[in-house]
Amino acid sequence: MSVKLTTRQVGDVTVIDAVGRITLGEGASTFRDKVRELVGSGNKKLLLNLGEVSYIDSSGIGEMVSGFTTVTNQGGVVKLLNLTKRVKDLLQITKLYTVFEVFEDEATAVRSFA
Amino acid sequence: MAEREAAEAGTVEKLLDSTLESVDTAEEDVLAEAQKLGFDEDDLHRIGMSVRECMVNAVVHGNRYNARKKVRLFVSHAPDRLEVVIGDEGEGFDMNNLPDPLADENLMRHSGRGLLLIQAFMDEFQIRNREPKGTEVKMVKYAAKAT
């Protein structure tokens, strides 16, 4: 199963709920397209909910990093929510845990954008 | 796809096409062997991801999706260890010249983390040039170290 992305607004924060796998091919490109679409339409406060993401490979990590850079360059912010242990391990191995702001509670994450 | 399932138990050898479908095939084949050794879910995940990363390197960077080039997958296991060898027919590369993905200046690069993940997830990792050309990666995971 590739990744399925749905978005919802919580105040001025756009929450992206991801379900499935973000891997080379369809999963990674779906994620890339969604981030570009959101930034292009003016959404600059993005909260990526990875609680239902079972698998991210290095290509998926690459797309997350590129998305972070794209949004940041447009004056926006990307934060992460609900990392599984496996995804958390990946971010620690790659030292990206120091780059992304990570939250375990959605309300706290949304408030942090204020 | 040419393939040969060796007569002895626990050995699989295949020649795979240079496609992303082969990445899935290799992961499934290796995990089928790994499950026989009793690895837990977390280690199966680490093994599967290492195989995917290695296969992607072989298909995308090594063989560059060339339909005339194959990826060789060899899987064997003893009671205490799983060994996976993946070889491509690409131009090869010098591992010493790869950027360090953990260096501050490289942290935000789009790619370059695959080998780092393989080395983190597997117990042994070796890479060598094939003759006449190509790259071969050997990975080992010990069942005794399964947690």
Helices A58-73 and B41-56: crossing angle in degrees, nearest 10, is: 80
Q: Do B108 and A68 touch (CB under 8 A)?
A: yes
Q: Candidates 3.30.565.10, 1.10.645.10, 3.60.21.10, 3.40.30.10; correct CATH number of B2-145?
A: 3.30.565.10
pLDDT of residue A29: 86
ipTM: 0.88
Q: What is the mean pLDDT of residues A66-86?
A: 94
Place of tokens 């958390």: A88
A93 in contact with B, Cβ within 8 Å: yes
Cα dihedral sign for B41, B42, B43, B46? positive
Query: How far is Cα A10 from Cα A107, in angstroms, rounded to an integer?
Result: 9
Instruction: Show residues of chain A in contact with B53, CB under 8 Å.
Output: 57-58
Q: Do A94 and B56 touch (CB under 8 A)?
A: no
pLDDT of residue A1: 63
Q: Is B68 helix (H, G, I), strand (E, B) or coil?
A: coil
Q: What residue spans define the domains of chain B? A: 2-145
pLDDT of residue B4: 52
Question: B3: pLDDT confidence band, cut at 50, 70 and 90?
Answer: low
- Phi, psi dihedrals of residue A34, rounded to the nearest 5°: -65, -45
Q: Do A66 and B110 touch (CB under 8 A)?
A: yes
pLDDT of residue A26: 78
B131-141 per-position pLDDT tens digit: 888 999 999 99
A5-49 per-position pLDDT tens digit: 999 999 999 999 999 999 888 788 898 899 999 999 999 999 999
Closest CB from A57, A90, A96 relative to B107 = A96
Sequence-distant (6+) residues with CB within 8 A of A33 are none
User: pLDDT above 70 covers what percent of chain B?
Assistant: 90
CA-nearest residue of chain B to A85? B42
- Phi, psi dihedrals of residue B75, rounded to the nearest 5°: -125, 130
Full-model pTM: 0.89
Q: Is A110 helix (H, G, I), strand (E, B) or coil?
A: helix
Domains present along chain A, CATH in parentheses: 4-111 (3.30.750.24)
Q: Is the pLDDT reported for residue B2 higher than 80? A: no
Q: Do B113 and A24 touch (CB under 8 A)?
A: no
In Å, how far is B9's CA from the nearest CA of chain A? 31
What is the residue-averaged pLDDT of chain A?
93
Q: Is the pLDDT reported for residue B6 higher than 50? A: no
Complete edge-to-edge strand list for the sheet that includes strand B11-17: B2-5, B11-17, B70-78, B81-87, B135-142, B124-129
Full DSSP string of B120-144: HHSSEEEEEE-SSS-EEEEEEEEGG
Q: Is the pLDDT reported for residue B146 higher than 50? A: no
Q: Is the pLDDT reported for residue B8 higher than 70? A: no
Q: Is B65 helix (H, G, I), strand (E, B) or coil?
A: coil
In Å, how far is B25's CA from the nearest CA of chain A? 15
